[in-house]
A and B are shown apart, each in its own frame.
Chain A
Amino acid sequence: MIEFNSVSKTFQEITNTFPALSDISFAIQKGEAFGVVGESGAGKSTLLRLINALEKPTSGSVDVEGITLSTLENKQLRPLKKRISMVFQQFNLLNNKTVAENVRLPLEIHSHSVHLTVDEALNFVGLEDKKDQYPSQLSGGQKQRVGIARALVTRPDILLCDEPTSALDQSTAEEIVQVLKEAHKAFNMTIVVVTHDLPVVKALCQRVAVLEKGELKTILDVNPSTEPAENKPYHERAIEVLSNG
């Protein structure tokens, strides 16, 4: 369980301070797929970064599985971070490492008693044939699959996704959502997805928090769409959007 208790975060600039989050309280249940949506600057990335202690709250507390993060030193945070993985908007792969080396990296940072093998992780995202290539040889969607494989290889309890589809075109984004959905089903971890892209959370999440200017407006239960996600080719979609009044 991830709990936000009256969390505020202000960033100090040279002349003024501006609030990124003000008085946020909510809880994400274990195993839930939870979305956080909002426009740019709503504070959603800050909220995500609080969960793995990349940021510390100005006031209030963030508890992950009963542990208040702000009470821990960097060293004590390591065992917690070991069980949290992150998927990034810009993929954040190491360009000088092969696909397989990138996926293996988290296993070199901590020793895990239970984990996937690099091959299993790459199989899961459908990239087993790319293991010896370098990120620069991959498309955006493939890079994000590597990012997901790297996140899954440790069998995390919590998967944080920061705008995972925002650097991708629509059909690639849908593929990535499918991969994340399958990962949630297969590995049964808590997923927190931050995005401005509403269809992404609609397809992936059970509950969604709506942020506006640093304030939590509401938490919605997602009504899953009954019709399967359309997977039209790009040129058909282009005709649909551009030509049909």
Chain B
Amino acid sequence: MVENVRLYLERVAEYLPRMLESLGETGIMLFFAMLAAILLGIPVGTLLYLTSSGRPMEHRLLNRILNAFVNIIRSFPFLLLVVAMQPFIREVYGRATGDPVAASFPMVVIAIALYARFVEQSLNDIPREIIETAQSMGATTWQLVWKFLYVEARSSLIVGFTTAAISFVSYSTIMGVVGGGGIGDFAIRYGYQRYETDIMYTAIVLIILLVELFQWLGLKLAKRLDKR
């Protein structure tokens, strides 16, 4: 038993540098995905909300376009989205394979679409009275969004972000297909292709810990900000 543990630890020590490198690649992909979710997913989701029927900026065409974008991206099997984006990535980034930054492009696209939908749903949950209060004060749409909607929706926006970020972890594991690396790719290569089951499970445990960490942080923050 003790011998087995020692052997296992030795193997982990041997693979540790590769594992850490893979985690770093996952980190790069998650960073770009999360950044895109915040910088673009939130505005797209907010526009989806504002332009829908009966809302302050009702605009049928824009709403249809945004909905189509979100639905098309989300209904793409992710692997096909990755493949379909190859020519585009090569065009703008120079290379489409073998590097986590190139692999981040499809991650960014899915991140925007996924989180935009969460943002829209969070805003839909805000009571009508709050919007009416803003309108009775003569608030501009900008003020409505920043001083009313985001304030009241903030915990639900964070809970949604947590769920989205956990999906990003899952999406990132596919990126080995185009040489994007990452901890998921590591698990597949060593566990599935080289039958090093112990190393595969170690990598899977790392992924689980990463997800647990996101969930814990997200809920803690959401709870602290929720004063309802």
Could you tell me which A residues sit within 8 Å of B by CB distance? 52, 54, 77-82, 84, 86, 88, 90, 92, 94-97, 105-106, 108-110, 134-136, 160
Contact = CB atoms under 8 A, between A and B. Distances in A.
Interface in B145-171: 147-148, 151-152, 154-155
Given A82-B138, A97-B151, 16 more contacts: A52-B136, A54-B136, A78-B138, A80-B138, A81-B137, A81-B138, A86-B133, A92-B130, A92-B132, A94-B130, A96-B225, A96-B228, A97-B227, A105-B147, A109-B138, A136-B227
B40 interface: no
A119 to B, nearest CB: 20
B139 interface: yes
A195 B175 CA distance: 63
B129 A92 contact: yes
B151 A54 contact: no
- Do most interface residues of chain B lie in helix, strand or loop, or is the interface mixed? helix
Contacts of A160: 136
B137 A94 contact: no
A88 B133 contact: yes
Contacts of B143: 108-109
Pick the most buried of A77, A86, A105, A136: most chain B CB atoms within 10 A of its CB: A105
A96 B138 contact: no
11 contacts: A52-B136, A54-B132, A54-B135, A54-B136, A78-B140, A80-B138, A81-B138, A86-B137, A94-B130, A95-B227, A106-B137
A97 B146 CA distance: 13
B140 to A, nearest CB: 8
Contacts of B137: 81, 86, 105-106, 109-110
B34 to A, nearest CB: 23
Interface in B184-227: 225-227
Contact of B129 (A79, A90, A108): A90
A109 to B, nearest CB: 5
A136 B143 CA distance: 24
Nearest to B146: A108
B134 to A, nearest CB: 8
Nearest to A147: B133
Contacts of B155: 96
Nearest to B132: A54
Nearest to A91: B129
Nearest to B128: A92
